Every structure is written in C-alpha cells, then in structure tokens.
A and B are shown apart, each in its own frame.
Chain A
Amino acid sequence: MPKEITTFEDFIKHVIKLVFWVLLLIPFIVLPIYYFAYTVLGVNLLDIFALATTKPEEFIKFQLQLISTEPTRSLFLWTTFPGFTFAAVFSAILMAYVERKFVAKIQLRVGPQYAGRFEGVLQNFADLFKLLFKEITVPHSADKLIFWAVPFALMAVAGALLGLIPLSPSTYIANPSVGAIFVFAILGFSPIIVLLAGWASNSKYPLLGGLRALHQLVSYEIPMILSILGVVVLSGTLNLIGIVNAQGGVWYIILQPIGAAVFFIAALAELERIPFDLPEADSELVAGWQTEYSGMLFGTFILANYIRFYALSALFTIFFLGGWLGPPVIPPEAWFILKTVVVMIVGMLPRAIMGRIRIDVLLRTGWVKLMFLTFLNIFIAMVLVSLGLVHGGAG
C-alpha cells in the first residue's frame, strides 16, 4: 500500500520515486520494443505514428500488409482473429448475452433490460467492468502460489484449445497431424487444475466442489474420446482439416448420430453446464471450487469456461457438422461460425429447461450408459466401413 502523502517533503519524495521508475522502465521496456520492431519486423514505430495521424488510408493498408506477412501474421492469428480476442469477444460477450436473453425468454423472464438502452446489449460489458473493479480477496490460510496460478493455468488451457481449431482450410493457427487427439490431451489438463483450485483455497466447499469436478471431468473424458473414434474410423485421419474434408458427401451426424449425442452430452459435462453443474451447485456448495475466488479471478474462470464452450462447440461442428463446408454464398469461416452458433444455442437449451442431476446418476450415466453407446457407435462405424458403404481412409 502506498503511504499517505501528508507533507511537502513526502510529495517531493514521491515525485522523485516516480521519475526514477520511469527512467528505469524506458530503457528496459520501451526501447527493446522499439528496437525489436525496428530490426526484426523492419518497422519504425515513429513513422507509423506519423502515418496514423496524417494519412489514415495508408495506415490501414500498412496494417493489412502486416497481417498478411510473417512473422506478424502468426501473432495476428494467435491473438486476434481465429485466436484469443475473437473467441473471447464472440463467446464471453456475444454468446453470453444471447444465452442470458434466450434462457430468460424460455423461462418467461425479461433478462438484461437496461444497460445499453436496447434490450440490455451492454450488460456483459457492465459486468466485465464490475468484475475488474472488484477487490480480489485471498483467504488467509490459502496456498497463495497455487491459488494465484490456477486462473492463469485455466486461461492457458482455453487458449491452447483455440490454437488447434481450424476455421477454414487457410485460417488456422496450428495444424498438427494428430489434432483430434491433441484436443483431448489439452482438455486433460483441466481436472488437475480444478482439483488444485479446490485444494489451494483451503476451505471446505471448494474442496468438495473440486473433488466432484475431478470425478465428473475424468469420467466424461473417456466417453468423449471414444465417441469420436467412429469419426476417425470413417475419415481415416486424426487431422481436423482432413476430418472436415472427408465430410464432403454426407455429414457425420447422419452416419454417427449416437457418437454425436454422446459427444454433446460429454461436452456439456466437461463444461460443467446445467444439468451437469454439480461441481458448482450453488444451492449446496456456494460455487464449488470457485467459491473463494473473487473479482477478476472469478471473471477469468467465466471467461475460460465460455472460451471452452466455444471451442467444444467448434469441435462438434468439425467432427459432425462438416465444419466450413457449405454452399459458397458466404465465406467458409462464416459457415463455420454459423454452425458453431447453432451448436452453442442447442447447448444453452438444457440450462433453461433442466435441473441438476445427482452425482450417482452422473457417474452411472458416464461410466455405463455413455460407454456402452460409444462402443455401439464404433461398431456401427466399423460395419459401415467394412461393408464398403463409406470409404474409410484406412481400408
């Protein structure tokens, strides 16, 4: 906490301290950025400033050129369009608003109404700023290091998922040959992070919520992986772009309806959405493993959850709805986003009309019913391939 300034001497000391920090920061932060831009990217930041203030058209042209050439193109992809900013704004601001209105209308409520004058369109921005300005309280006997590390780790997991999702054959960040399995490897980080969040809070409700989340995430990961095995058998590849290209004739939701249903249910459970919101069950566990987090740390959890919601809906689109394939009246990216929006809205529907299920029902559904359905699904895929009805990639 800064000391209160009472005397003139303190004031002078304060000013000198500020000047000291500015003098320290300029050579260590500002100049490296300037010289990095100048030498590596070949860009003079002062020229850009002059360009932006005098000739806006040329400035826009220059920015487009930066976006389309390496190495700034990778940076743009990661941070802006298929990457983080797009996903965060699209899912946590736009789709969260759609969700609030949609659920409210189904339940005969009005939902957000006042912020932004028209139907509360700015409500989520208002909530964002509210969370940003709230105080972050850390429990006295919490494990400080892990407590602070958990929100960042969850954001890292959500961001890493975004890196694997191709929006079109040309708009992607990373395209590994084992993308379909890679997604589940990254999702596999979340149970350990959630468990650590419950433990580090050093409180009863977070620990109970963390253990519930662990059970739920671990038991629904397996049906989720198995449900896409049918798709992999039919398409003969683990590459996400290859899987979409293999659906040129018929979408896999028609050939693999059971797999699609299992993937959808397991995705809802992975996201801890109603009816699978046992880990945060607000009537029993306050907010589960998120109980002790406040302010923007809690906001980070919401943001990460919405980004994962978007990522899993996008994966459903890739695996079962033919990704960006569609009549070329709108660009492929637009087809992809349109289908993802439809999947997300269907994913919001249970929140409006269902209650919360019990933990034993949850575990029995995951380990017995969904597992049986996935094996049936793989069997159907194998029959389709071996009868020659579908050209399997491997056969």
Chain B
Amino acid sequence: MADVVFFALMVVAVGGAIIALEAREIVYGAVGLAGSFFGVAALFFLLDAPFVAVFQIIVYIGAVAILILFTVMLVRQERWLKDASFSVGQLAGILTAGATAVALILAFSAAKLWEVTPSSNPPDFLGIGQLISTEFAPALQVLALVLAASVLGAITLAKVDREEKVKA
C-alpha cells in the first residue's frame, strides 16, 4: 500500500515538474509547479514528517506558488511559446539529464541506501523546536536578520518606485 502511494506521489511530483517546464500556457506551468510542491509535501507526510509537510504546503503552495501565479497573470502574454521545435540543444539536455540520473542511481545503489532502516521514533516537532532554540539559536538569529534585511530592502525598493511615480 505504502509503495503504491509512494509511486503515485512520485508521479504527481515529477509530472507537476514536467508540466511546469513544458506547458505552452504559462499559467498551467505555475499550476504544475504547485502540484509538484504538493506531491513533495505529501511525500514528507508519507515519510512521517508531518511538520515539514505542513510547512512545505504553507510556504510553497500558500505563498511561493501564489506569488508566481500572480506575477504570471500580471504579465499577460497570450502564448509564450508558439511552436515546439525539437533542436540539438534539447537532445543534448535530455541525454545529459539521463546520464546524470543513471550515474546517481549507480552511486546510490553502490552506497546501499536501500538497506537503511527507519528509526522507530520519528523526530517530533517539539524536538525540532528545542534544537532550534538551544543549539541552533545563533543560526536562527542570523536567518532572522537576513529575512529582516530582505524585507527592509523590498520595502525600500517599493518606496523609491512610488516616489518616482509621484514626481512624474
């Protein structure tokens, strides 16, 4: 049962990613990206990490996908890519991707990752919280500073833009 669910979610995640790259209509691409995020979140849930799964949904579908979709809708182009011509570059890309995939599969099977047994108690979010507030507290504060700086930068950029508009 778990295997079936796993492969179904793999299809959702990888299929969503393929749609995101290949869709003619760019809104479909954004929806495919959201689907891919959803598949990854469901995989996290399947792997006994509900906390990560939930935040994957909140951050990536609730914020990132909406941002992308909103931006795409603001830029109203009818069809971005008219014709799909099969070029040498595409062939080379597919070959490179395939070769990388084969190499990764070989490397992972040599490392015997299949034989890893899951720990009996999956880490709880309480443990994550304790680690973040004790051992990794400096990293958390640095991250908070980076986020604050980026938010301030965004506000500054928006503010400058608006003032120029008022002058003009």
Contact = CB atoms under 8 A, between A and B. Distances in A.
Interface string B25-57: 101000100100000000000000011001101
A221 interface: yes
B25 to A, nearest CB: 8
Contact of B69 (A176, A185, A196): A196
Contacts of A176: 50
B54 A181 contact: yes
Contact of A189 (B55, B61, B73): B61
Nearest to A198: B73
Contacts of A32: none
A188 B31 contact: no
Interface in A63-109: none
Contact of A191 (B27, B62, B73, B126): B62
Interface string B113-149: 0000000000011100000000000000000000000
Nearest to A225: B58
Contacts of A146: 27, 31
B62 A185 contact: yes
A238 B126 CA distance: 10
A199 interface: yes
B70 interface: yes
A35 B67 CA distance: 48
Chain B interface helix/strand/loop/mixed: helix
Contact of A188 (B27, B61, B124): B61
A192 interface: yes
Nearest to A185: B57
B10 interface: no
B65 interface: yes
B51 A178 contact: yes
A192 B54 CA distance: 17
A192 B27 CA distance: 11
Interface string A157-188: 00000000000000000001110011011101
Contact of B31 (A178, A191, A196, A214): A196
Interface residues of B, number: 21
B125 A177 contact: yes
B58 A192 contact: no
Contacts of B54: 178, 181-182, 185
A195 interface: yes
B62 A199 contact: no
A195 B57 contact: no
A218 interface: yes
B61 A178 contact: no
Contact of A199 (B27, B50, B125, B126): B27
Contacts of B50: 176-178, 182
Contacts of B69: 192, 195-196
A218 B70 CA distance: 12
B66 interface: yes
A199 B66 contact: no
Contacts of A394: 126
Nearest to A237: B126
Contacts of B73: 195, 199, 207
Contacts of A207: 73
25 contacts: A143-B25, A146-B31, A178-B125, A181-B54, A181-B58, A182-B54, A185-B54, A185-B57, A185-B62, A186-B57, A188-B57, A191-B66, A192-B34, A192-B61, A192-B62, A192-B65, A192-B66, A195-B66, A195-B69, A195-B73, A196-B27, A199-B73, A214-B66, A238-B125, A394-B126
Given A185-B57, A195-B70, A214-B70, 13 more contacts: A143-B27, A178-B50, A181-B51, A181-B58, A182-B50, A185-B62, A188-B61, A188-B62, A195-B73, A196-B31, A207-B73, A221-B62, A238-B125
Interface of B: 25, 27, 31, 34, 50-51, 54-55, 57-58, 61-63, 65-66, 69-70, 73, 124-126
**Those 9 A-B pairs whose CB atoms lie nearest each other, nearest first:** A188-B62, A185-B57, A185-B54, A185-B58, A181-B54, A178-B50, A176-B50, A182-B54, A192-B66
